[in-house]
Amino acid sequence: MKAKEIIHLNNDKRKELNPENLKYYEDMLVYIRLSYNKSQEETEEILLELLEHLLEAQKEGKSAKEVFGESPRLYADQIVGEIPKMVTKERLSFGASIILYFLGASALAAGVIKLVLYIIGKSSLTTDIYLGSVFLKTIISLPLAFLLLYVLLEYIRWSLFRNINKVVEFMIFWLFGLITIGFFFALVYFTPEFGPLWQWPFYGSLILGTLLFALGYGVSKIKN
């Protein structure tokens, strides 16, 4: 079975858990799935296996705590430690698709902003872009995006088994969003204009973004 089919099966079967077991299991599920360098198929296989075990135990009146232990995090760490890592090919296609999605999303966002400006008459069909600046911004934004994504994932993993106040949580995400936007605005603002000048139409960004997205999707499908 492919990872996707297993995920569907898991989604269906999970509905049979009682609320208490569901909470325990889902915390563990999110935590294990966020171990991003693990083989996805193997990850989903063990998750389904754990779910099926829990369902049978539930029929016998046992709780998730009795089956997997008092600490979901400790147990999840033991499982994660034993799941085989992604093979190099899976790792490369995973990394490349994230880069392509990110670039695609950036191009689409730029295209949409310029489209709106064009419609309300604040911008012409084409805008001036400096190839050197575009190149430099791309090179800097990629590691920056990866760093922010990494911080976000690590935060979610850290917070999963802690009961963090909803308001505090909201503030943290809000602050994180603000910092992210701030970084990228600073990048756009402070990058000097240099390199050859191009007249670039907004639909160019839209087309480029769509192509990059399609390419990212294609690359993510390459496995084994």
Partner 1 sequence: MNLHTQLLKGVLEGCILAVIKQGPVYGYELSMILGVYGLVVSEGSIYPVLLRLQKEKLIRGELRASPSGPNRKYYFLTPEGEEALQNFQTSWEELKTSVDRLLKEEI
Name which of 91 and 137 has its Cβ closer to partner 1. Answer: 91
Nearest to 144 by CA among 103, 175, 107: 103
Smallest separation (angstroms) from partner 1 to the CB of 20: 16
Helices then strands, counting H and E runs in the chain, come out as 9, 2
Query: What does 79-134 look like in DSSP terms, one character per residue?
Result: HHHHSPBPPHHHHHHHHHHHHHHHHHHHHHHHHHHHHHHHHTTSS-SEEEEEHHHH
**Minimum Å distance from CB 154 to partner 1?**
23
| Closest separation in Å from C-beta 126 to partner 1 | 56
- Scanning residues 54 to 113, which ones bind partner 1 (CB under 8 A)? 56-57, 66-69, 75, 78-79, 81-84
Tokens linked to 80: 């994660």
Cβ neighbours for 201, distance < 8 A, ≥ 6 positions apart: 125, 126
Q: By CB under 8 A, is residue 1 in contact with partner 1?
A: yes
One of 16, 20, 52, 169 touching partner 1 (CB under 8 A): 52
31 near partner 1, rule: CB under 8 A? no
From the CB of 94, what's the least distance to partner 1, in Å? Answer: 20
Region from 52-60, 86-94, 132-140, 141-149 binding partner 1, contact rule CB under 8 A: 52-60
Instruction: Residue 224: count other Cβ atoms within 10 Å of its Cβ.
Output: 8
Q: How many CA atoms lie within 13 A of 159 on its CB side?
A: 14
- Binding residues (CB under 8 A) for partner 1: these are 1, 45-46, 49-50, 52-53, 56-57, 66-69, 75, 78-79, 81-84
